[in-house]
Amino acid sequence: MLEYTEQMAEPFSSAIEVTAATTTTTTKKNKNKRRFSDEQIKSLESMFESETRLEPRVKLQVAKELGLQPRQVAIWFQNKRARWKSKQLERDYSILQANHDNLAGKYESLKKEKQALVIQLQKLNDLIKKPKEEGQGSAQVTATSCKDGDKGETTVKSDSSMGISGHSLGVLSDEDSAIKTDYFGLEEEHYLVSMMDPADDSLTSPEDWRSFDSDGLFDQSNCGYPWWDFWS
């Protein structure tokens, strides 16, 4: 920012002279262009802070008070609005850039965290599977009925000997309980395994997740999927 010096002010005793020089001819239109005084700028700045546009009546009054032409005041406000706007854009850009960098950092750390959890999950799955394979042998027959998204009670059919016993009443027989335990044991395993699969590819590229509102990112209310399924 340039400072208005006495040296600059010296050749022109008043802004009115400047104006007169700038408006009389076209060839010399900018010959005597000089900056406004500190006082004039200060006054214009404070007016701009309270109101970015001037009513014609106020403009005339301000021009009179500052010894400027109303046209000069109007032009000063025009330039001020334009240049303020462009600086504001720069500020907004900086803020967005900082937010983006921050979000990208969070994304990367969550990605790593998820990766570590997946590995841990795989190890746990292996631990769960081993004892089953060793101890149960052919007991996995019922596992074939466990399809994606199926719920236990609707897929476990009772055989003819059971009739409409416990199922329709919502009461579990001992056999049912056994089946259910087995079933849910398997379902849990299935569930755990399913967590390994990417449920949604919509957020796998920065282009996609960048469009997301970061505030909603950690909202766990979208039930049904574990939150880490969004981060593959």
Task: Give the residues lining the site for DNA (CB under 7 A).
Answer: 1-3, 5, 7-8, 18-19, 22-23, 26, 29-36, 41, 53-54, 56, 71-72, 74-79, 81-83, 85
Q: Pick between residue 43 and residue 158 the one whose CB is nearest to DNA.
A: 43
C-alpha dist (Å) from residue 191 to 8, 145, 146, 188, 226: 79, 14, 10, 5, 11
Q: Pick between residue 79 and residue 99 the one whose CB is nearest to DNA.
A: 79
Distance CA 169, CA 163 (A): 12
Residue 170 CA to chain centroid, in angstroms? 47
Q: Pick between residue 35 and residue 114 the one whose CB is nearest to DNA.
A: 35
CB of 20 to DNA, least distance (A): 10
CB of 96 to DNA, least distance (A): 19
Residue type, 162: M
CB of 43 to DNA, least distance (A): 12
Angle between helices 56-66 and 70-135 (to 10 degrees): 120
CB of 41 to DNA, least distance (A): 6
Q: What is the dihedral of CA 214, 219, 225, 231, to 10 degrees?
A: 30
Helix (H, G, I), strand (E, B) or coil at 170: coil
Q: Pick between residue 75 and residue 95 the one whose CB is nearest to DNA.
A: 75
